[in-house]
Amino acid sequence: MNRISGVGRRKNPRVAPLSWLWNNGPMILLPVLLLAIFLIYWQALASETARVVASQIDHDDTSLCIKFGFAADTEAHDACKLELLDLRHSHERLMAANSVP
């Protein structure tokens, strides 16, 4: 009777961790899988955002240099864009220096 009900039987200590993993595996695997998918998506989104921002800045710089009278695809136009880039970097450094930590 003890054999049928399982009372008095000792469990194999080597099987216990495997059965725990088997029973709880999906509960552990699902959050890990979702986290991996989220991280991959986040990295792609951050990369795409940086590309779009750089493209918009380039478009704005080109428009400003043309507005200032520098013809596109000339050395003066390229120098104007470099000066605007330097001005933007100086502004970012100034904002970082004056920001509240």
Per-residue pLDDT at 62? 94
> pLDDT for 69-95, tens place per residue?
999 889 999 999 999 999 999 999 999
Per-residue pLDDT at 11? 60
Residue 82 C-alpha from the chain's centroid? 28
**Contact 81/61 with Cβ under 8 angstroms?**
yes
Determine the Cα–Cα distance for residues 46 and 34; give it in Å rounded to an integer: 18
Per-residue pLDDT at 52? 96
Per-residue pLDDT at 100? 74
Per-residue buried b or exposed e for 51-88, using 16+ beta carbons within 10 Å of the residue's own CB: eeeeeeeeeebbeebeeeebeeeeeebeebbeebeeee
Residue ranges, the chain, pLDDT below 70: 1-18, 20-21, 101
Per-residue pLDDT at 13? 56
Structural tokens at position 27: 């509960």
Per-residue pLDDT at 27? 80
